[in-house]
C-alpha cells in the first residue's frame, strides 16, 4: 500500500510539474533585397519592413515576445540606425517591424525570435 501511495504521489507531482512548465517557441527572421518590396537600402527618411510570424502551434494565451538582431549589413558611410519591434501579438503569431531612418542604408538584417507563455 505504501508503494502505491508513493507511486501515486510521484505521478501527481510529475503531472503538476509538466502542466506548470512554460511554453516556448522560437525561430529566425530576416529581411534583405530578396524580400518583395525591400526598401531599407534606398532613399532617406523613415523606411519599414514587416515580417509576419505564424506560430507552429498556437499558444493558450498571448505570449511575450523576445527579439534579437544577430546580423546587420549596413552602409559604412552613414550611421547605422535601426529598430526592431514585435507588434500585433496574438495566440497564433505576431508581426516583426524593422525600421530605419535618416540616411542609414541597411542591406540586410536578421535575428531570432522567442515566444514565451506560462500557460
- Domain residues of the chain, as ranges? 23-117
As a whole number, mean pLDDT of residues 91-111 equals: 97
Q: What does the mean pLDDT of the chain come to?
A: 88
Cα angle value 79/83/87 (rounded, 5°) = 165
CATH class given for the domain over 23-117:
mainly beta
Least confident of 7-11, 39-43, 49-53: 7-11
pLDDT category, 118, cuts 50, 70, 90? confident
69 with 51: CB under 8 angstroms? no
The long-range contacts involving 39-46, CB below 8 angstroms and separated by at least 24 positions, are 40/98, 40/100, 40/105, 40/106, 40/107, 40/109, 41/75, 41/105, 41/106, 41/107, 42/105, 44/102, 44/103, 45/101, 45/102, 46/99, 46/100, 46/101
Contact (CB, 8 A) for 41 and 33: yes
Amino acid at each position: 500500500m505504501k508503494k502505491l501511495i508513493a507511486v501515486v504521489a510521484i505521478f501527481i507531482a510529475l503531472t503538476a510539474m509538466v502542466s506548470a512548465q512554460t511554453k516556448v517557441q522560437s525561430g529566425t527572421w530576416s529581411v534583405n533585397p530578396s524580400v518583395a518590396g525591400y526598401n531599407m537600402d534606398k532613399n532617406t527618411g523613415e523606411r519599414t519592413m514587416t515580417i509576419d510570424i505564424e506560430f507552429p502551434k498556437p499558444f493558450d494565451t498571448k505570449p511575450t515576445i523576445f527579439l534579437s538582431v544577430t546580423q546587420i549589413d549596413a552602409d559604412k558611410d552613414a550611421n547605422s540606425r535601426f529598430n526592431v519591434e514585435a507588434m500585433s501579438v496574438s495566440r497564433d503569431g505576431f508581426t516583426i517591424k524593422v525600421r530605419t531612418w535618416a540616411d542609414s542604408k541597411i542591406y540586410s538584417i536578421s535575428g531570432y525570435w522567442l515566444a514565451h507563455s506560462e500557460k
